[in-house]
Amino acid sequence: MYKDLTSLLAEATEAKQPLWRIIAEEEMRLSEIKEHELLMRLDTRLSVMEQSAMRALESPLETVGGLISGVASRHARYANDRKGLAGGLANRVMAFALSCSEVNASMGCICAAPTAGACGILPAVLFGLREEYDLSRGELQLALLTASGVGAVITRNATVSGAEGGCQAECGVAAAMAASAAVFLVNGTNEACIHAAAFALMNAMGLVCDPIAGLVQVPCAQRNASQAVNALVSADLALAGMRSVIPPDEVVEAMLKVGHLLPDALKETAQGGIAATPTGRRIAKELFPEQGQ
Amino acid sequence: MDISIFDVVGPVMIGPSSSHTAGAAALSRVGREIIGEPFTHVSFGLHGSFADTGAGHGTDRALVAGALGMRPDDERLRDAFRLAEETGMGYDFHRVELDNVHENTVQMVFTLLSGRKREIIGSSIGGARIVITRIDGYETALTAQTNTIMIEHHDVPGVVSGITRALAFNGINIAGMQLARKSRGDMAFTIIEVDQNIDDMTLHDIDWVNGVKRVQVIGTVESLADAMEGLLYV
């Protein structure tokens, strides 16, 4: 039974199976469910992800303080009108990620992946790639399975709590999950899936959690957009054949240790980073005068 | 692996924060279930990050929503204050400093119809997962990830073995077990996490064990029925 990324990969290699098969079998054992129920539960989540990735593309949603109202629809128009510097796919992925963040901030329904603050990254990559490669629902389910298996291992051996590990534990882990899903969706190897996840974590290492006024809006929406692109970049690195010099499980461990080294001011308390800038503090004071940060 | 993929991709919830919104709703939802009888008012003591950044995350609305019986994915969550007013459930918020607890912790004091007060303390530990750490003065570690049986009993020899015998007799497998007491020979509290669903026969058998005062089952956060459709506890 696997307990880390190395043993997950080893089991898949030994059985000559894709990662999702090993992950599915483990989950069916753990949750005592049949394959049908497993796929049904995954599909429910996929539906919520799809809705949240699309819901704010047309018109702005109302959020507390309005810090990110309209960012998704504006970016969707930009991505439609031109390719953007980072390319068409990357820009559409950003728009999807921003939509999820906007839905989340408006107290709409989302699927945490692995957390609500990071809920845009995995859906953005999944549905961005669906458009690009005309993927089936079944393929998306298996990609979600791959991503969630990788996420479960990281949750087990590190943390996905912003209060414990900073933004790297939320958006960084989401990017790692999305990177492995992306590699799977374009028929990359199991090994490439795992190493893509390691690259995504490496690229996000040390990222602090510093939300203005404690609201899950700025810089969370921007981080969802940029970490979704990090997932694509990390997937490309692995697909091109790059392998992580540091074993992926050691990268996971390093992420946890960095999280513990970060001061509390940079872990969801809104006391440091972007939140603690003069303008960040002024916005906080205007929105919540009684809280006195 | 001991972590379900559905704890990582999920829950499906109302934003914006899994720990500050969904976790908060789950805490008071489970708290309400533990209380298990009508109450008129809940006083929420917010500790740490719940107090510092709670308002912007809708922690306050989520706590009220959970106390009303809403699930963390109920879109009515944002209207929780108005719904509480309509149904007559009182609530208040204040800041507390608790010792040796997680950053995201709430102290909930429920006022029952009789006027008696009961206290539950719990923490939101990330990704909407929760742990109830204190129930009426007993130290606990209730996560509501599996079905949980809570038994209050006299702290005398033989009670626990009687309980486990009753479970074995009904074919129930114990996944985890905690025993707490306030002082030796007084009352004790046993919390048993089990893999299966618990039927009335099993509860009846536990209730009959010598020394057992009260037995109660708490479902998982996911399974707790949506009480908003039916009768509220107020």
Structural domain boundaries of chain B? 5-144, 147-218
Give the closest of B9, B58, B73 to A144, CB-based: B9
Cβ contact B12–A110 (<8 Å): yes
Cβ contact A115–B127 (<8 Å): yes
CA atoms A286, B85, A112, B217: torsion sign: positive
pLDDT in tens, A193-249: 999 999 999 999 999 999 999 899 999 999 999 999 999 999 999 999 999 999 999
pLDDT(B229) > 70: no
pLDDT value, residue B230? 38
Quote the mean pLDDT of chain A.
Answer: 96
From chain A, pick out residues whose CB is under 8 angstroms from the CB of B104: 163
Cβ contact B9–A23 (<8 Å): no
From chain A, pick out residues whose CB is under 8 angstroms from the CB of B3: 152-153, 155-156
In this structure, whether the domain defined by B147-218 belongs to CATH 3.30.70.260 is answered with yes
pLDDT in tens, A155-200: 999 999 888 999 999 999 999 999 999 999 999 999 999 999 999 9
Distance from CA of A250 to the nearest CA of B (A): 18
pLDDT in tens, B182-198: 778 789 999 999 988 89
pLDDT value, residue B226? 55
In angstroms, the CA A260 to CA A257 distance is 5
Task: Kindly state which CATH superfamily the domain B5-144 is placed in.
Answer: D-3-phosphoglycerate dehydrogenase; domain 3 (3.30.1330.90)
Q: What is the CATH number of domain A5-287?
A: 1.10.4100
In three-state form (DSSP H/G/I as H, E/B as E, the rest C), the secondary structure along chain A is CCCCHHHHHHHHHHHCCCHHHHHHHHHHHHHCCCHHHHHHHHHHHHHHHHHHHHHCCCCCCCCHHHCCCCHHHHHHHHHHHCCCCCCHHHHHHHHHHHHHHHHHHCCCEEECCCCCCCCCHHHHHHHHHHHHHCCCHHHHHHHHHHHHHHHHHHHHHCCCCHHHHCHHHHHHHHHHHHHHHHHHHCCCCHHHHHHHHHHHHHHHCCCCECCHHHCCCCCHHHHHHHHHHHHHHHHHHHHCCCCCCCCHHHHHHHHHHHHHHCCHHHECCCCCHHHHCHHHHHHHHHHCCCCCC
pLDDT(B5) > 60: yes
pLDDT value, residue A291? 63
Average pLDDT over residues B107-126: 95
pLDDT(B27) > 60: yes
CA atoms B44, B46, B50, B54: torsion sign: positive
Domains B5-144 and B147-218 share a fold: no
Q: Which residue has the higher pLDDT, B223 or B179?
A: B179
Cβ contact B16–A48 (<8 Å): no
pLDDT category at B224 given cuts 50, 70, 90 is low
pLDDT category at B225 given cuts 50, 70, 90 is low
pLDDT category at B231 given cuts 50, 70, 90 is very low
pLDDT(A127) > 50: yes
pLDDT category at A293 given cuts 50, 70, 90 is very low
Domain edges within chain A: 5-287
